[in-house]
């Protein structure tokens, strides 16, 4: 048998070694202060609180103080936010503190704005970073718009107004329009995701605005909007006037166009249904617009087209409003800009395929980003870009 001796030792309690000072020769870690950035969507009606949190690591057995002040970036103190300054005290053994900045309410639609919160002169701590940025996301639905430009007549001899949208409401009239959504390239290798968000479609002061934005949506790097009147507002023949101001920039592709309402029927997909491009613009040349018709043949991949273009002598289609029109009857289509005819296609000119332009057509308004025709945006492309539509009118 083995005898195991148990020897009892007195329990030693640490006293000096656990003190948060260097009396035992060990220097405690210095606390660091880290302040984070803050981003919020600006409320159009109520002020918004931007809370900047200052984290402490490791915690300190003594109180910490740090001076702070706000400074303008693109946001202006007294207009966009209320400036603050002073000294923040974080209690002993506190993990964090915070500073609140009030951002004023505003429904103005404009680019994001920024201001900074700057820290200085810490006591019992050091600064891991000295500045944080407050980003104000201005996604309101009011935007001042310069109405300068051409305006069409309000009536035409021998014709009556069959339908119009003056965009005078607060929201898009969904009894006339449908949002098309998705980001699969739309048959043209486009780069945007079309949404139904007010970020991309909104009404302001009697105008429809379609806004293309550089922002990530799923696997897409851009967002925009595509609106159609399919099965809601369709027309055969008449005069169409659309007053609009167009976006510009490499990779932008705005369009005001129509498709045959039978596109969903078997055998009548594109191009057999017919396509009427009242206006298309390739953004790297904002002086020139195109008008084109496309057609095909039922149950066939056959495709043909005819078109024309027009260039402004000075300025661009981004500068002021222009009116893009079409006069359409049983024998021809005439395309006009500011009442000046730029291209005519006769039914007798379309001798191939099957003539589709004697059936109901619906409208599509959209701003594509990228695609086979305009190419991709580059470093020169400024976002957001907007197509602004004052009205669409159909006379018959």
Q: Indicate which residues carry an active-site annotation.
A: 275, 280
| Structure tokens belonging to residue 231 | 């099965």
Q: With beta carbons less than 8 A apart as the criterion, state whether 188 and 368 touch.
A: yes
**Residues facing 294 on adjacent strands:** 275, 305
Please give, one letter per residue, the 3-state secondary structure of 16-82: HHHCCCCCCCCCCCCCEEEECCEEEECCCCCCEEEEEEEEEECCCCCCEEEEEEEEECCCCECCCEC
The residue to which tokens 């696997």 are assigned: 219
Q: With beta carbons less than 8 A apart as the criterion, state whether 386 and 247 touch.
A: yes
Alpha carbon dihedral 36, 41, 44, 45, in 10-degree steps, equals -50
């Amino acid at each position: 048998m083995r005898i195991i001796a148990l020897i009892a030792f007195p329990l030693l309690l640490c006293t000096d070694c656990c003190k948060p000072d260097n009396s035992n020769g060990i220097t405690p870690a210095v606390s660091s202060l880290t302040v984070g950035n803050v981003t919020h969507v600006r409320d159009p009606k109520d002020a918004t609180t931007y809370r900047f949190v200052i984290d402490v690591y490791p915690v300190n057995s003594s109180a910490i103080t740090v001076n702070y002040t706000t400074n303008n970036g693109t946001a202006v103190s007294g207009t966009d936010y209320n400036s603050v300054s002073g000294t923040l005290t974080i209690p002993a053994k506190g993990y964090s503190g915070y500073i609140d900045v009030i951002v004023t309410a505003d429904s103005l639609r404009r680019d994001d704005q920024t201001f900074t919160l700057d820290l200085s002169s810490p006591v019992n701590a050091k600064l891991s970073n000295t500045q944080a940025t407050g980003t104000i996301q201005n996604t309101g639905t009011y935007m001042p718009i310069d109405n300068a430009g051409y305006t069409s007549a309000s009536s035409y001899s021998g014709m009556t107004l069959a339908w119009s949208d003056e965009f005078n409401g607060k929201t898009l009239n969904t009894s006339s329009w449908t949002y098309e959504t998705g980001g699969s390239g739309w048959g043209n290798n486009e780069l945007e995701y079309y949404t139904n968000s007010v970020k991309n479609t909104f009404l302001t002061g009697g105008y429809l605005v379609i806004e293309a934005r550089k922002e990530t949506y799923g696997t897409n790097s851009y967002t925009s909007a595509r609106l159609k009147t399919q099965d809601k507002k369709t027309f055969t023949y008449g005069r169409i006037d659309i007053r609009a101001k167009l976006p510009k920039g490499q990779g932008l592709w705005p369009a005001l166009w129509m498709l045959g309402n039978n596109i969903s029927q078997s055998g009548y997909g594109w191009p057999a249904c017919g396509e009427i491009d009242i206006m298309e613009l390739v953004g790297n040349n904002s002086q020139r617009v195109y008008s084109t018709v496309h057609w095909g043949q039922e149950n066939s991949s056959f495709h043909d087209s005819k078109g024309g273009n027009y260039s402004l002598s000075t300025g661009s289609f981004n500068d002021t409003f222009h009116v893009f029109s079409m006069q359409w009857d049983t024998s021809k289509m005439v395309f006009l800009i500011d009442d000046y005819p730029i291209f005519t296609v006769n039914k007798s000119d379309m001798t191939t395929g099957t003539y589709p332009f004697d059936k109901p057509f619906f409208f599509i308004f959209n701003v594509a980003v990228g695609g086979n025709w305009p190419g991709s945006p580059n470093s020169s492309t400024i976002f957001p870009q907007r197509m602004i539509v004052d009205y669409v009118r159909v006379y018959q």
